[in-house]
Chain A
Amino acid sequence: MALYSEKVMDHFRNPRNVGVIEDADGIGEVGNARCGDIMKMYLKIEDDIIKDVKFETFGCGSAIASSSMATELIKGQPVSEAMKLTNKAVAEALDGLPDYKMHCSVLAEEAIQSALNDYEKKRSNG
């Protein structure tokens, strides 16, 4: 029995949307090095649509796969839809995660939320 599903391994081996957006409209960073997982999300938003999203992750296989899947799920979506992203949706899209790795999907949800909050904050201040 493999540790992870094929989908997790696919997103871990070939993560989508890896990198940085220099002029991002929203940036979110969650987790800490002490626990072994950090996710950073960058959003480019135009007309309330997520035009582009990139991530950087320090963490285990499922943390990298969860980041990758989360970015795929929100890319091209309206901000209001992205706000509704749950960790469960991320885990399901990956064909499941081992129980003790569910926190990785939680982190992915939180990273997206944090980046969206940053976008909202910047917008209301701007």
Chain B
Amino acid sequence: MIYADNAATTRMSETAMKTMISVMKENYGNPSSLYGFGQRAREILEEAREDIAGVIGAGRREILFTSGGSEADNQAILSAAALGKKNGKLHIVSSAFEHHAVLHTLNKLKKEGFEITLVDVHENGLLIPSEVGEAIRDDTCLVTIMYANNEIGTIQPIREIGVICREKKVLFHTDAVQAVGHIPVNVVDDNIDLLSASGHKFHGPKGVGFLYAKKGIRLTNLIEGGAQERGLRAGTENVPAIAAMAKALKEAAAGMDKTSGELIKKRDRLIKGLREIPHSALNGDEKKRLPSNVNFCFEGIEGESLLLLLDDKGIQASSGSACTSGSLDPSHVLLAIGRVHDVAHGSLRLSIGEDISDKDVDFIISSVREVVEYLRSFSPIWRDLESGKKQHIL
């Protein structure tokens, strides 16, 4: 099995697993309990907070544990909106290719009277900081732009956007779910006010994540009912998962230079090989992308069929085709970078992991080529393209 869907989720690291089991076994106390056993759990929780804060350059008190990236996105955006509303600022700047945890939250705010401006994502899958700046108005209360895109892996000019937001005194949130643990992220250097991250994207457990909120930003809580997380998120903390997430992140940060160097070599080998398939195109900038991400469109075929046949060969990947989303529209990310529907349906995302070998990469290339050729052999669209009845787009 070649698991190439690490953007969907990752395998937990051995250290994270061991930590989780040991905390469950030995330190199952409630961190809110006063006796020593409970307080030991509190210490574990606070150590984890400190470790996570250290990795992203934040202060310990600036980290809030959540159930994952989606909750962190919701809380960050709704908090900034609540602050905006107080000051009569009902405008938010974002982009069309954000994760749905962001876009759906923005839609909810729209119904409550907020106005949303979505800045253009260019063909290379990147935003231009000055264009974000131009979208900011006097009544803008928040700019929310993802650090790295979950489908096409493009890494946004976050630091530059952060500078603009600071100048204009507007809160800046970034959904860094795909970035944290994979590329260097530092909230101070990057001028970030609010940041969301998720444990299972960097070899930690599922169902846990965190929100960084710069000191002084008042958060609104989504869950009422207790004094946990300084009253900002009620509910007994998921101590084993939080401890495991912190271990996984420390580990990822320590090995980042070596891992990403290796991954980039594999990624580029994969891109080079897949490019040789006729009428294919890489989605997103070739270099300004996550070390693990490869995303292609193949003309004349549909993504779900491609995935199922790759699965038969032992390769797990993902696609932005409509069929994989249960709607008629293909990926909003691919549409945002200007891919037309016909082509967007034939997309393939491979997000490779550290354990992949050159042999695996070559097997992926030959398998994708074989499956694409096979599906094209009985595709009426491909027939029309090849006979000249329709023009090739790619």
Contact = CB atoms under 8 A, between A and B. Distances in A.
Interface stretch (B109-117, B131-139, B245-253, B304-312): B304-312
B72 interface: no
Contacts of B378: 15, 18-19, 55-57
Given A13-B312, A36-B330, A36-B345, A60 B304 contact: yes
Given A35-B328, A36-B321, A36-B328, A58 B381 contact: yes
B382 interface: yes
A37 B302 contact: yes
Taking chain B's interface residues, is the majority helix, strand, or loop, or is none over half, making it mixed?
A: helix
Contacts of A29: 380
A118 B378 CA distance: 21
B323 A58 contact: no
A38 interface: yes
A94 to B, nearest CB: 15
A76 interface: no
B305 A64 contact: yes
Contacts of B326: 100
B31 interface: no
A9 to B, nearest CB: 8
A56 B380 contact: yes
A33 interface: yes
Which of A15, A35, A58 is the most central at the interface, judged by chain B CB atoms within 10 Å of its CB?
Answer: A58
A3 B305 CA distance: 12
A35 B381 contact: no
Interface string A3-18: 1000001001101001
B305 A38 contact: no
A63 to B, nearest CB: 8
Interface residues on B, range: 20 to 34
Contacts of A75: none
Interface in A58-78: 58-64
B379 A58 contact: yes
Interface string B298-321: 001111110011001000000001
B279 interface: no
Interface in B365-394: 378-383
B342 A34 contact: yes
Given A12-B305, A60-B304, A34 B380 contact: no
Given A37-B302, A100-B326, A56 B379 contact: yes
A108 B323 CA distance: 16
A44 interface: no
Contacts of A37: 302
A59 B330 contact: no
B301 to A, nearest CB: 7
Contacts of B321: 36, 60
A122 B326 CA distance: 38
Contacts of B301: 58
Contacts of A3: 308
Interface of B: 300-305, 308-309, 312, 321-323, 326, 328, 330, 341-342, 345, 378-383
10 contacts: A3-B308, A18-B378, A19-B378, A29-B380, A37-B302, A56-B378, A56-B379, A57-B379, A60-B303, A62-B323
Smallest CB-CB A-B distances: 5 pairs? A60-B323, A60-B304, A33-B342, A36-B345, A40-B380
Given A35-B328, A40-B380, 6 more contacts: A34-B341, A36-B322, A36-B323, A55-B378, A58-B300, A101-B323
